[in-house]
Amino acid sequence: MDIFIARQPILNAHKKLFAYELLYRGTKTSTLATASGNKATTSVLSSAFLTEGIDKISGSRPCFINFTRELLLQNLPFSFPKTLIVVEVLEDVPPTPDVVAVCRKLRGDGYTIALDDFIYDSSLDPLINVADIIKFDIRLSSLDTIQKTLHKLSRYNLKYLAEKVESHEEFVQMSKLGFSYFQGYFFCRPEKIKIKEVDSAKINLVNLLAEVNRKTTSVKKLEKIIQGDVGLSYKLLRFINSSYFYRVNKIESVANAITYLGSREIQRFIILVLISELATDKPAELVRLAVVRAKMGELIARETVLKDKEDEIFLLGLFSLLDAMLDTGMDFICDHLSLGDHLKNALINQTGPYSPYLQLIISYEKRDEPGCLAAMKEIGLGLEKLHQMYMDAISFAESVLG
């Protein structure tokens, strides 16, 4: 049976990747709403550690996993490496002596304990005493409530995680309150919505991006661009010799790499590198997310009526976060790039035939099941292939970005 999971990044105060939370997405025949907490967690663990491999899903970074009371009392967390999971105790787990005892033993063995969707009650004190991280859903608790709760918790040695942080302003606000970790999509939105002057070096990169993206660009032009940049040459050789290609013999020259990949893939590779350069002052996860979106969009397009437009859907996913990378409006960016009307409409107005593809990817990321199902229906895509596309996109991103 196909199990669908997704990952959501958790960043630290410096916007560096700290961990992922792995989220259950259902199966071909069941949805999030119909699955029990036990089923969701065991499915995520089985898929991540046994089927796909945690190195592929998270790059061996720690993963927050939800645990129910039943699974805690079965000592299930002990079956998984303490360096690779954070035991997230769900908010509906009662702080009974047997639950507290399991959590105390887990912590004593070196596991990290997090309390999910935390709302303070004095009955939770025994659990708080064995916890490492407290998670606050900032959509559920007011700022005043959070401040009062933090004051009550000040006697404990805890770190705090703000969940569902959707803007840079919220990130700054929670940082000032002393939060160490942040979960949500604040990092993939512009820090200032209004158009501002973009750094001249970045404008040059955008212009180069436009040049590489032109239909008239030749292999000779692309080869000249690569050979004129030592860093680009190194990245190309690292990429071509990565595990993604399963090569037996190592490629050691740029010319051979270009011959092996062909003009289409070389063009795409340069675009990927330029995107990374544009986001050097941003969280690395922003570029990773853009590459995952790009590859997933391409794979989705191959299974639909837009299979001959897979390159454009790839660019749609890749360019969907350029506004956050440059902290400027998407319309400003599109004016500088050689994009067709369908791409522009999808990026700026979320309209047109390409728009459902981006909406499907974003809905999958954000655990928006109704949005996901609506977009799949509009595109004409079945659920059974979506998870594998997501896993393949993650694998591609890891190979490109290292």
DSSP β-bridge partners for residue 11: 17, 182
Cβ-contact 357, 343 below 8 angstroms: no
- Which pLDDT value is given to residue 158? 97
- Which pLDDT value is given to residue 265? 79
Q: Which two tokens stand for residue 353?
A: 């035939």
337 vs 371, which has greater pLDDT?
371
DSSP β-bridge partners for residue 20: 9, 63
CA distances 298 to 82, 207, 258, 292, 303, Å, are 36, 24, 21, 10, 9
Among 6, 62, 59, smallest CA distance to 401 is for 59
The domain over range 3-188 is classified in CATH as 3.20.20.450: yes
> What's the CA gap between 265 and 287, in Å, rounded?
18
Q: What are phi and psi of 105, to 5 degrees?
A: -65, -40
> What's the CA gap between 224 and 228, in Å, rounded?
6
pLDDT above 60: residue 236: yes
> What's the CA gap between 365 and 158, in Å, rounded?
29
pTM assigned to the model: 0.80
Q: Please give the average per-residue pLDDT across 165-177, as a whole number.
A: 94
The tens digit of pLDDT for each residue in 29-80 reads 555 444 567 878 887 787 777 666 777 788 888 999 999 999 999 999 999 9
The tens digit of pLDDT for each residue in 334-370 reads 888 878 899 999 999 999 999 999 999 999 888 788 8
pLDDT above 80: residue 3: no
- Residue intervals of the chain classified under CATH 1.10.3210.10 are 200-401
What CATH architecture does domain 200-401 belong to?
Answer: Orthogonal Bundle (1.10)
- Residue intervals of the chain classified under CATH 3.20.20.450 are 3-188
The tens digit of pLDDT for each residue in 273-312 reads 888 888 888 888 999 999 999 999 999 999 999 999 998 9
The tens digit of pLDDT for each residue in 106-148 reads 999 999 999 999 999 999 999 999 999 999 999 998 999 999 9
Q: Which region among 122-126, 161-165, 212-216, 240-244 has the lowest average model confidence (pLDDT)? A: 212-216
- Which pLDDT value is given to residue 215? 66
> What's the CA gap between 59 and 66, in Å, rounded?
19
> What's the CA gap between 59 and 395, in Å, rounded?
9
- Which pLDDT value is given to residue 388? 85
Cβ-contact 325, 279 below 8 angstroms: yes
- Which pLDDT value is given to residue 194? 44
- Rounded to 5°, angle at Cα 363 from 303 and 179: 140
